Amino acid sequence: MELHDEVLKEMVLLRERTPDISGSVACTVDGLAVACDPVVDNGERTAALTAALLAMSRRMLAMSGRGDLEETLISGTAGFAAFYAAGPTIVLTVLAQPGTNLGLLRLEGRKTAAAVAAIAARMR
């Protein structure tokens, strides 16, 4: 099975386990989309912005001595965007509705990121 297919499978499971998640995008740290669930028109743009946010988040943590990146959460009036490091090469972006249980989002997002990281490591 290819990287895209295995990562997409994990992303579908994430959406099925967490009802307030509306979609997710997995991309490389340099902004290339690996998989989108569901497939969206702006997946490539989301991947590029995710890579930029990852770089900024990592810089902030390094500068402030706060350790390695686990997640970045952005709260907006129409919901949330959460970003999870999935190993050294992939980032998982998760989009969620307003009123989402953030504890569940964090738990399931990290679980999926770990699964994606394991897939990427196995495929190297």
Question: What pLDDT, in 10s, does the model give residues 98-107?
Answer: 999 999 999 9
Q: What is the pTM of this model?
A: 0.91
Residue with tokens 């991947």: 47
72-98 pLDDT, tens digit each: 999 999 999 999 999 999 999 999 999
Quote the CA–CA distance of 59 and 123 in Å, as a whole number: 28
Q: What does the alpha-carbon distance between residue 73 and residue 12 come to, in Å, rounded to a whole number?
A: 20
Q: Where are the domains of the chain?
A: 3-123
Separation between Cα atoms, residue 3 and residue 87, nearest integer Å: 14
> Angle, nearest 10°, between helix axes 3-17 and 102-123?
160
- Asked if residue 39 has pLDDT above 90, the reply is no
Superfamily of domain 3-123: Dynein light chain 2a, cytoplasmic (3.30.450.30)
- Residue whose C-alpha is closest to residue 82's, from 63, 57, 64, 62: 57
